[in-house]
Amino acid sequence: MLDCAIIGGGPAGLTAGLYTTRGGLENVTMFEKGMPGGQITLSSEIENYPGVTGEITGMDLMMPWPEQCQKFGLKHEMVEVIKVSKDGDIFTIHKGDGTTQEAHSVIVGTGSRPRRAGFAGEDEFFGRGVSTCATCDGFFYKGKEVAVIGGGDTALEEALYLAKICTKVYLIHRRDEFRSAPNTVDRLKRTENIELVLNSVPDEVYGDNMGVTGIRVKNKDGKLRDIEVPGVFTFVGNDVNNQTLMQENGEFLCDMNAKGEVIVNISMATSLEGLYATGDMRIAAPKQVVSAAGDGAVAALQVISFVDEKLNG
Ligand code: FAD
């Protein structure tokens, strides 16, 4: 029986592992289906993790984290978790290899994945000019022009964020109106360095071995337009990795919002006692390494008291 099972070995899961073990829990296992580190290991450069200066890749940043956790006794099982269930007071972790593991508490940190828009060149230039995170990559385009694809709240808010850093933002949207909050649309229309490219969809992003040099868009009449930009940001939705919380009856183990994000309180506690959710998968997540790590620490401190009370009264 584990004191705590941690699902996912990104910044949230690894920090939860560090704090639970260093805080005195002796029997903690982190279940991670691949190499620990999470999605930031896909990034070629990270500049906004506090205290880390100089050019550093996501992989460089995450490399020491597992070793630091193991020093305090965190165990790591490289296996996919299929489902987490709860019977009475006890959680069961159902693993991809067909075995199960019981635990007094669970911290889930399985992250999320931005949807791809599906145009030519998107995958080829992902991380080399095509991005899904303005907070992460916007600064690399300071003083330059960029394109933003999307028409929802996130796309508009990210376009406004980028307009403060970049000289010009082309907002490419397939319709001629936005579904976003009216005051966000007003702010967008009042921002002089945002050009709305409406009724248009991306046809292709192109570039050279240095990265993106432009995007070709097609309007509803089939007319093509080339926009020369070194950066293209796509915001066409985000899928939360919440499958482990789905039960056989089609319901989730705890309360979720309409987007499939886990509803938590400020202690990262879900609606189910003993279950905590952290990082990109929770409601209102800033989707940053530093906040995911913070969530992991918060959840771990709660778990230490929860397990202590459960076992020792
Ligand atoms: P993740 O990092 O997504 O980790 C989740 C982990 O869970 C993964 O390792 C996954 O393999 C594992 N997992 C999922 N399902 C299962 C399962 N069923 N069983 C077992 N394991 C499972 N943030 C910044 O702060 N600054 C940046 O500059 C920055 N740049 C980015 C650039 C790119 C290209 C990307 C993709 C992201 C970037 N981010 C950046 C965002 C940052 O990576 C995320 O906010 C952060 O990694 C979220 O951490 P997490 O632990 O919640 O989830």
Q: Which atom of ligand 1 is nearest to the CA of 279?
A: 52
Asked whether 13 lines ligand 1 (CB < 6 A), one says yes
Asked whether 8 lines ligand 1 (CB < 6 A), one says yes
Mean of the pLDDT values across residues 18-31? 97
Tell me: pLDDT of 200 over 90: yes
pLDDT tens track for 238-294: 899 999 999 999 999 999 999 999 999 999 999 999 999 999 999 999 999 999 999
Pair 96, 85: CB distance under 8 Å: no
Q: How far apart are CA 260 and CA 243, in angstroms?
A: 10
Tokens at residue 204, please? 């292709």
In the chain, the N- to C-terminal Cα span, in Å, equals 18
Tell me: pLDDT of 44 over 80: no
Q: How far is Cα of residue 204 from the mean position of the Cα atoms in its chain?
A: 25
Predicted local confidence at residue 235, as pLDDT: 93
Asked whether 297 lines ligand 1 (CB < 6 A), one says no
Asked whether 289 lines ligand 1 (CB < 6 A), one says yes
Counting ligand 1 atoms within 8 A of each CB, the residue from 14, 42, 43 with the most, and so the one to mutate, is: 43
| Sign of the C-alpha dihedral computed for residues 301, 251, 291 and 27 taken in this order | positive
Predicted local confidence at residue 45, as pLDDT: 81
pLDDT tens track for 77-112: 999 999 999 999 999 999 999 999 999 999 999 999
Q: Residue 11 Cα, ligand 1 centroid: separation in angstroms?
A: 7
Annotated catalytic residue 4: no
Asked whether 241 lines ligand 1 (CB < 6 A), one says yes
Question: Which pairs from 207-213 meet CB under 8 Å and 24+ separation?
Answer: 207/121, 207/125, 207/128, 207/129, 211/125, 211/128, 211/129, 212/121, 212/125, 212/128, 212/129, 212/130
| Half-sphere exposure (Cβ direction) of 74: Cα atoms closer than 13 Å | 31
Annotated catalytic residue 133: yes
Domains and CATH numbers, the chain: 4-114+238-312 (3.50.50.60), 130-234 (3.50.50.60)
Tell me: pLDDT of 49 over 80: yes
> Which has the closest alpha carbon to 273: 240, 305, 247?
305
pLDDT tens track for 163-178: 999 999 999 999 999 8
- Using N-to-C axis directions, what is the helix angle for 64-71 and 11-22, rounded to 10°? 20
Pair 227, 201: CB distance under 8 Å: no
Q: Which of 4, 69, 136, 166 is catalytic?
A: 136
CA dihedral 29, 34, 36, 37 (to 10 degrees): -140
Pair 245, 75: CB distance under 8 Å: no
For residue 106, the surrounding DSSP H or E stretch is: strand 106-108
pTM (two decimals): 0.87
Atom 34 in ligand 1: which residue has the minimum CA distance?
43
pLDDT band at 237 (very low <50, low <70, confident <90, very high): confident
